[in-house]
Amino acid sequence: MSNSSRKAFGKRLSQEMTEQGYTAPRSALGADPKPLKEAAGVRSLESARKWLSGQSMPKPEIQDKIALWLGVMTPWLRDGTEPKYRQQGANEPAANYSTISPDAQSIATRFDALPPALRGMVEQQLQQAESFATACSAITLGKYKDHQIAAAVKEAQQIIQSGALDEFTEAKPKPGTTKKTTKRHA
């Protein structure tokens, strides 16, 4: 990849992240590399900085992750090819949710109405919830050996501590307390 291609990639990436609020006020990069590192699933903050500055480009599979997270098309992020966002074409049928339950239809319709950037965030939350559920069920069913259980418990604890599941769980009162409710009058 040429130096100009890397620079252009970094500029598009930084600009899109900044537009979506991922800013680092005191950084010459403009965008904050920390959420990029997390979204890309890489360990190195330096890699994210290099992508933003145009010093290097991530592998294609990581470009796909970043594009999904930002809600943009991978070709646009990689080389500026339009369209920036996925558009439903004239030959593309509208989504048909008639074969799923009314609750699932409601969720799918609301998901379709989200801006592309928020879709990526919702998908990440769902992936974390699925990982948590998989680890819990494997532990419960005894599918793991002792060292695997320890790793699964650690992963589940990290997911819980990150707050990723907060939106999926109801706040429950502490034992010995009662949940306060307020009555609304019409």
Q: Is residue 157 part of a domain?
A: yes
Three-class SS of residue 31? Answer: strand
pTM for the full model?
A: 0.49
Could you tell me if 68 and 135 lie in one domain?
Answer: no
Q: Is residue 14 part of a domain?
A: yes
Could you tell me if 18 and 75 lie in one domain?
Answer: yes
Note the pLDDT tens digit of each residue in 49-106.
Answer: 999 999 999 999 999 899 888 888 899 999 998 888 866 544 444 556 567 777 777 7
Distance CA 36, CA 49 (A): 9
Q: Is residue 176 part of a domain?
A: no
Range(s) of the domain holding residue 46: 3-79
> Per the structure, how many domains does the chain have?
2
Note the pLDDT tens digit of each residue in 15-59.
Answer: 999 888 888 877 787 899 999 999 899 999 999 999 999 999 999
44 contacts 34 by C-beta, under 8 angstroms: no
Q: Is residue 180 part of a domain?
A: no
Altogether, the residues listed in the chain come to a count of 186
